[in-house]
Amino acid sequence: MLDKLTAIQQKISSSLDSIKILAELANFRVQTLGRKGELTRLLKAVGSLPPEERKELGKKVNEIRDQILSEIENKKAALEASALAESLITETIDVTLPGKTSPAGSLHPVTQFMWRLEELFISLGFDIVEGSLIETVYHNFDALNTPHNHPSRDEGDTFYIDETHVLRTHTSPMQVRTMERQKPPIRVIVPGMVSRRDEIDATHTPVFHQMEGLVIDRGITFADLRGMLDTIVRYVFGQEAKVRLRPSHFPFTEPSAEVDISCYACVTSKPGKLLPPKDDCSVCKGSGWVELWGCGMVHPEVLRKSGIDPSEYSGYAFGLGVTRMTSALYGIPTLKPYFENDVQFLKQF
């Protein structure tokens, strides 16, 4: 039996020498030391020998087993080292090749512009509130003093969900909701999407973005509103930009005005300079002014309906046409590209 053992040991050592790759070594280990390996079989056979032989032979088999194990480990380390050395020579990596990046999207110009406006209002102490896209007819119209026969309530102008709910046609219902739940002083802006039944053309889409502003406190006057409009317009269009107010009508403000700004395409097109309007300017048609939004002093009846005493408090509101201002700022002539999700267009901003 001892002879057999020595023979096995020699056989194992010499076949170990001829192994050249790691995968072969793993197989070899299983064949020799695994459950069905020669050595394991021998070890089992030792169990059936008489006790005095068993002890000595068992010890010998275990010694040989340990020796083979350490030979295999040494061989493994040597094979790994030479495999690494070889791969360092044959596998070269070109670190100058461009990496693989997955294309990232970009923020929509309207979102970017909204965020810029929000920064201004936050710095002026305003809170930001957002309403829901579906409003009650009461908040969208009645509470805003808009009578039943007003054209904006017509089914041809407004998307009705049912008899008492509409897709909000402006952000003004949030004036009412804010006043219902908060006592003055109030300073909020309401950025958001609104919907109207408009045919799509260069300047109309059935959805667009507005930003409502509402300020209510003791002693607020039209002069405060005017000052705020100047601040907003200069922040967005530069220090030279001028504001012009034209008398207008909204059921929920009194007095009401339309806000025009000096034409950004011709009059203030050169920073630091005010130029005369160009007769052939496609933006202002030679008038020098561009209409941007509506505003006014909050109507006493709207204050009363929302639970605020008009003899104690007054305030102003404005509704910025965000989409229109974005177009003005970037010189985008039509509204269509805003809704087409064309990355080529969106990437430019």
Which residues form the interface with ligand PHE (CB under 6 A)? 170, 172, 212, 250, 253, 256, 294-296, 317-319
For ligand PHE, which is the closer residue by CB, 175 or 262?
175
Residues near 128 by Cβ (< 8 Å), separated by ≥ 6? 118, 121, 122, 188, 189, 190, 191
Residue number, 9 or 146, with CB nearest to ligand PHE: 146
Of 72 and 137, the one with the shorter C-beta distance to ligand PHE is 137
Residue number with CB closer to ligand PHE (32 or 169)? 169
Reduced to 3 states (helix: H, G, I; strand: E, B; else coil), residue 22 is helix
Q: Which of 303, 288, 347, 318 is nearest to 225 (CA)?
A: 318
Dist. CA 246–CA 329, nearest whole Å: 22
Virtual CA dihedral for 202, 207, 208, 210, nearest 10 degrees?
150
If one counts every other C-beta atom within 10 angstroms of the C-beta of residue 142, the result is: 15
What burial class does residue 254 get, using C-beta atoms within 10 Å of its C-beta: 0-12 exposed, 13-18 middle, 19+ buried?
Answer: middle
| Smallest distance from ligand PHE to CB 323, Å | 12
The nearer residue to ligand PHE, 9 or 306, going by C-beta atoms, is: 306
d(CA 211, CA 172): 9
What's phi and psi for 310, nearest 5 deg? -70, -15
Least distance CB 152 / ligand PHE (angstroms) = 9
Smallest separation, CB 296 to ligand PHE (Å): 5
For residue 317, what are the β-bridge partners? Answer: 214, 296
Tell me how far, at minimum, the Cβ of 105 lies from ligand PHE, in Å: 30
In sequence order, the β-bridge partners of residue 260 are: 244, 291
Q: At its nearest, how many Å lie between ligand PHE and the CB of residue 175? A: 7
Which residue lies nearer to ligand PHE by CB, 28 or 250?
Answer: 250
Q: Using alpha carbons, list the distances in angstroms from residue 52 to 40, 48, 185.
A: 20, 11, 103
Complex with ligand PHE: residue 136 or 172, whichever CB lies closer: 172
Q: How far is CA 87 from CA 20, 80, 91, 266, in A?
A: 15, 11, 5, 67
Q: Which residue has the closest beta carbon to ligand PHE?
A: 319
CB-CB neighbours of 292 under 10 Å: 22
Distance separating alpha carbons of residues 140 and 148, to the nearest angstrom: 12
Question: 42 or 114: whose CB is closer to ligand PHE?
Answer: 114
Question: Could you tell me the sign of the dihedral formed by the alpha carbons of 135, 139, 144, 146, in that order?
Answer: positive
The minimum distance between CB 193 and ligand PHE, in angstroms, equals 12
Where would I find the beta strands (DSSP E) of 130-242?
Answer: 134-136, 160-162, 165-167, 186-195, 207-217
Residue 188 Cβ vs ligand PHE, minimum distance, rounded to whole Å: 12
Nearer to ligand PHE, 64 or 214 (CB): 214
Q: Identify the DSSP state of 105.
A: -
> Closest separation between CB of residue 280 and ligand PHE, Å?
30
Q: Smallest distance, Å, CB 275 to ligand PHE?
A: 30
